[in-house]
Each structure stands twice: as C-alpha cells, then as structure tokens.
A = this chain, B = another copy of it.
C-alpha cells in the first residue's frame, strides 16, 4: 500500500462504520468533512480501486431501487491499516486562505476593494454557519446514541467556534480599514 495516502484513509474511515458506494462517499464528505477535508470524484473512484487491489476493501455489485451500485466494504486488513494510520502523529495541518493573501497586499489596491474581500468572506461564513449549528444541535441531542457522535461533535465544535471568531475578525478588520480612512 502506498504510504499514508490521505484519501485512502478517509475512505477507509467512512467505510469503517458502514458499507458505501463511491457516490455515497462523496455525499458524506460534502456534508460533513468538506469543512476540513475536501475530495472530488476524480480522487475517490481511483482510490476505491486501489483499496480493492491492496485488499483493504472489497467491492460487490448490488441493486437498490432499480439502480445498480458498486458497494464497497472494509476488510480486516483495511481496519488494521486505518488503526495504524490513526495512531501515527499528524503530519500537516494546512490553511490556505486566498482572502488573507489579497488582504496582505491590500496596500496595492484601494480600501474599497479590500473591504469587499472581507465582506465576501463574511457572507460565505454567515451562509455556512447555520449548517454547522444544526449539526451541533443534532449531535448534542443524540450524543449517547452512538459512541462515535462525540468525535463528530468535536469537529463540529471546531467549525462553530472558528466561524464565530471569523465573524468577529471581519468586524475588527473592517474597523481597522474604515478608521484609518477619513
């Protein structure tokens, strides 16, 4: 198996508590993981083939509501591999915010432009925050139903807290720019 390819680990993680198709994996990721780990079909389907080739998952055909599906299941080897990866220290946490990049060079543009970048960022966050709050509520209500829920909650809390901080920062950033204008 290739060394610690993250997309493989993510998929194994998702498969570790239910069988899924490639399409469903993408949906799961778009709903819950996309805040800290994105993936496209172009990386998911090839990764699934690799996992099968390496014996970390198995593939079988299935039919559901008249639709043909390729259902993937994690193997024991897959579970071991996942556990080994989880035990290793984190290699990299990376943040790449183009918004901050453009603001950093704000002196080369006019104040209005910088403000509009901040406002666009603010709107995006305000649009996404309700989904996180919804997830937070659902997880808190059913925390005891599944031991996995507290781990999901931890990651959602990260999102809620940072998003609220982002909004506070937007206010402060706008203030710094408008105060210095007059």
Contact = CB atoms under 8 A, between A and B. Distances in A.
Interface of A: 6, 9-10, 13, 16-17, 32-33, 35-38, 79, 82-83, 86-87, 89-109, 113-114, 117, 120-121, 124, 147-148, 150-155, 157-158, 161-162, 164-166, 168-169, 172-173, 176-177, 180
5 contacts: A79-B108, A87-B113, A94-B95, A104-B152, A157-B173
Contacts of A155: 100, 103-104
Given A100-B36, A107-B148, A154-B173, A121 B90 contact: yes
A94 to B, nearest CB: 5
Contacts of A168: 161
Contacts of A9: 101
B107 A17 contact: yes
A83 B109 contact: yes
A64 to B, nearest CB: 26
Nearest to A163: B165
Contacts of A105: 13, 16, 82, 86, 151
Please give the count of copies of this chain that the complex contains. 2
Contacts of A107: 17, 147-148, 151
Interface centre among A87, A94, A101, A157 (most CB of B within 10 A): A101
Interface centre among A89, A106, A113 (most CB of B within 10 A): A106
Among all A-B residue pairs, the 10 with the closest Cβ atoms: A106-B151, A107-B148, A13-B105, A36-B100, A165-B165, A93-B97, A86-B109, A154-B173, A90-B98, A94-B96
A10 B157 contact: no
Contacts of A104: 13, 32-33, 151-152, 155
A73 to B, nearest CB: 15
A105 to B, nearest CB: 4
